Amino acid sequence: MSRRRYTYSYSPSPRRERRVRQKTSARRGWLLLLAVFALVGAVPVRQLVAGDDGSAAARSNCWTQVACSAERVESKSEDSAGPASGTDGQRQKEPPPAISAAAVSVLEEPCGAVVHSFNAHAHLPPASLTKIVTALVADERVDLAQTVQVTVDGAALSAATDATVMGLEPGQTLGMVDLLYGLLLPSGNDAALQIAQQVAGNVKAFADVMNARVAEAGLKDTHFVNPHGLDAPNHYTSAYDIAVLGNLLLQKPDLAFIVGTRSYQPSWNGPRVDNLNQLLGQYPGAIGVKTGYTLTAGHTIVAAAERDGRRYIVSVLGSGDVFADATKLLDWAFASAPSSCHAAGTTQVAAR
């Protein structure tokens, strides 16, 4: 019986060899594909390690290249706006709002800087914003504790001019303070005439004093011919001038208190007088100042508000919706306007 020979070498059959070669090629293909993915994935990893265009928080949360890209886009968007000037680096600069007014001026206190304006020096009718200067002159020229013998008939004036009045009757005795409340809250034209007579003797002389006060403030785009603001030739102001004059009123403690009052009972048997400024009690931080209206002037206002140590004075002339316009401008100023006063580091007020 012959012995079977055994060989210790391995020679696979051609069919098996083909299968092995196919498996080997497949393995090499998968390895090559994995190497490509590893190489591609290394790019964003290197970018992240280098700190490319993203915050530390964004880099630590980049699970995919898309997520990292989204984080970087947000970061660039925030940085592109840039910080506002001065100490308000957190506030984003936004364009002023669109409003209906013919002219606008926005001032910041305490430096009196103009942070926004539109047609700010155009000569326009002020309507009852005139009474801001009437009150200023009275405060500076006479003792507010004095009593006044009333000669103006409010009912007759209203019937003749269709103007707002506080309701004066000849023969009454009222304090000058009562007249100022009647002037500034219900916008009484009868109070304006009575104040003019008490301070200067007549309307013409009082208007001259008003114009002298405006010139003293360094303002050149205002001229008055009466103390109440009813439309008249050569009776005009500008958005910038009246904003400055409103700011001057707020520097008078008695007047500032009056324009911030919503309702007042004069020392008479008549009714209380109410403030026509609807921003008081409704707009956060509102402190005054005065509203106005005539057919020619349209709606007008000088509005002021203060928050967090900042104060803005907004003047709006020829408005179709005066409270909406003033609100938009104040909102914009507090939210977006750079602080010119803080940047300048000054307390000097313009045009004084």
Do 163 and 187 touch, CB atoms closer than 8 A?
A: no
Q: Which residues pair with 302 in a beta bridge?
A: 290, 315
Is 124:102 a contact under the CB 8 Å cutoff? yes
Of 105, 117, 131, 339, the catalytic one is 131
170 in Cβ contact with 152 (< 8 Å): yes
CB-count exposure of residue 175 (10 Å: 0-12, 13-18, 19+): middle
Residue 187 annotated to the active site: yes
Name, in order, each residue with C-beta under 8 angstroms of 164's C-beta and a sequence gap of 6 or more: 128, 158, 186, 187, 188, 189, 276
Q: Which of 238, 213, 211, 259 is nearest to 107 (CA)?
A: 238
Alpha helix (H) residue ranges in 51-90: 56-60, 65-81
Residues in contact with 152: Cβ distance below 8 Å, sequence separation at least 6, in sequence order:
168, 170, 190, 193, 194, 197
131 is catalytic: yes
Q: Which of 13, 76, 105, 128 is an active site residue?
A: 128
Q: Which of 11, 80, 158, 187 is catalytic?
A: 187
CA distance 283 to 323: 10
Give the Cα separation of 92 and 98 in Å (integer): 18
Burial of 193 (0-12, 13-18, 19+ CB in 10 A): buried
Q: Is residue 11 annotated as part of the catalytic site, yes or no?
A: no
DSSP H stretches of helix in the chain: 14-50, 56-60, 65-81, 130-141, 154-161, 176-184, 189-200, 203-216, 239-250, 253-259, 322-335, 340-344
Residues taking part in catalysis: 128, 131, 187
